[in-house]
Amino acid sequence: MTFAKCYLTIRIDVRFLDFYGLTPVATSVISTSSRPMKAITFQGIQSLAYEDIPDPGLLDSTDAIIRVTAAGICGSDLHPYFGREQGLDVGTVMGHELLGEVVEVGSDVRNFSIGDIGVAPFTTNCGSCFFCRSGLTARCETGQLFGWIENGLGLHGTQAEFVRVPMADSTLVVVPDGLDEGVALLAGDILSTAAFGAELAGVQTGDLVVVVGCGPVGLLSIRAAREKGAHQVVAVDSVVSRLKLARRFGAIPVNFKTEEAFEVVMACSEGRGADCAIEAVGSPEATRTAAELLRFGGS
């Protein structure tokens, strides 16, 4: 996989199958009322299928159908796969990151036409409820998460040839001409997550920022902090390949197995600690490390 999450062309790229350990064999019964498409579906804990399922159709006048040209594999896809999250229905199409071509639109869709290239976040949004108006579209009162169907209710995911996008006018974003699809795909989840992390941390020009965790979100957090004017970024991880990428992204890499992150941060800050910390792991240990590296009054 690439440093910023493998973006994949569904129709021809077998890296999806390699990642999940799947064999490209159709296993499901094909509906006679719809064309078949390839998709990766959840079959239970540590069990997925690469199979033929019916194409999605328009269910609402605000829907759009997207022919997926690139989709991402997110770390959170592994939560139901390993049973860390329960309730996902067998047969649910996996994934929540997509970029693709609009091939069909409902009668009330105004912002998109057939042939447009769009990218979507991991949740749908109406654009008009309290949370959407507040900029918290992931908390939309009528939003749904791509790739989560529970007890028959929900929305199929994006690791398929076609995806139905509800509330398309507010959920989809047009991709500008000339923008690489791999770059555009990042905007739907990990880049926006990283940018929001830098925003919540309050990164300002001249700050010393610590990023704990150099996975895809952490690496993009380095870039986000730099874009907001950070003077120095210290990146903490133990995976050598990730730390090499962190250096390329402009950070000071610290391998916590062989170095003391505290000493590095103190040396960079005249003994004060970091102005801001971005924790990009999601574990109590990483959160504790980030807090310990902050100066008094840091964020």
Q: What is the CATH number of the domain that holds 256?
A: 3.40.50.720
Task: State whether 125 and 44 are in the same domain.
Answer: yes
Task: State whether 200 and 118 are in the same domain.
Answer: no
Task: State whether 158 and 32 are in the same domain.
Answer: yes
Residue where one domain finishes, among candidates 188, 220, 246:
188
Q: Which pLDDT score, from 0 to 100, does residue 19 have?
A: 53
What total of structural domains would you count in the chain? 2
- On average, the pLDDT of the chain sits at 89
Contact call for residues 121 and 95 (beta carbons, < 8 A): no
Contact call for residues 139 and 125 (beta carbons, < 8 A): no
Task: State whether 280 and 141 are in the same domain.
Answer: no
Task: State whether 158 and 31 are in the same domain.
Answer: yes
**Range with lowest mean pLDDT among 31-45, 120-134, 232-246, 280-294:** 31-45
Question: How far is the C-alpha of 156 from the C-alpha of 37, rounded, in Å?
Answer: 13
Question: How far is the C-alpha of 129 from the C-alpha of 124, rounded, in Å?
Answer: 12
Task: State whether 172 and 247 are in the same domain.
Answer: no
The one-letter code for the residue type at 152 is: G
Q: Which pLDDT score, from 0 to 100, does residue 22 have?
A: 55
Q: How far is CA 295 from CA 90, 217, 273, 291, in A?
A: 48, 23, 4, 9
Does residue 31 surpass a pLDDT of 90? no
Q: What is the pLDDT of residues 113-139, one digit of tens each?
A: 999 999 999 999 999 999 999 999 999
SS (H, E, C) 10-44: CCCCCHHHHHHCCCCCCCCCCCCCCCEEEEEEEEE
Is 101 among the domain residues? yes
Question: How far is the C-alpha of 226 from the C-alpha of 233, rounded, in Å?
Answer: 8
Is 164 among the domain residues? yes
Is 1 among the domain residues? no
Is 236 among the domain residues? yes
Task: State whether 174 and 202 are in the same domain.
Answer: no
CATH at residue 147:
3.90.180.10
Q: Vertex 282, ends 278 and 283: CA angle to 5°?
A: 115
Of 65, 72, 96, 19, nearest in space to 183 by CA: 72
Is 297 among the domain residues? no
Quote the tokens at residue 37: 């498409």
Is 2 among the domain residues? no
Residue where one domain finishes, among candidates 137, 167, 188:
188
Is 74 among the domain residues? yes
Task: State whether 182 and 202 are in the same domain.
Answer: no
Is 204 among the domain residues? yes
Task: State whether 200 and 56 are in the same domain.
Answer: no
Range of the domain at 221: 194-292
**Average of per-residue pLDDT across 206-231:** 97
The one-letter code for the residue type at 50 is: Y
Does residue 27 surpass a pLDDT of 80? no
Q: Which pLDDT score, from 0 to 100, does residue 175 have?
A: 93
Task: State whether 162 and 248 are in the same domain.
Answer: no
Q: Which pLDDT score, from 0 to 100, does residue 74 have?
A: 87
Does residue 16 surpass a pLDDT of 90? no
Does residue 168 surpass a pLDDT of 60? yes
**Average of per-residue pLDDT across 140-162:** 96
Of 106, 189, 187, nearest in space to 145 by CA: 189
Residue 120 Rama label (left phi>0; alpha psi -120 to 50; beta): beta
Q: Which pLDDT score, from 0 to 100, does residue 25 have?
A: 41
Task: State whether 199 and 180 are in the same domain.
Answer: no
Does residue 220 surpass a pLDDT of 90? yes
Quote the tokens at residue 43: 């079959």
Does residue 3 surpass a pLDDT of 80? no
Task: State whether 120 and 251 are in the same domain.
Answer: no
Residue where one domain finishes, among candidates 188, 213, 239:
188
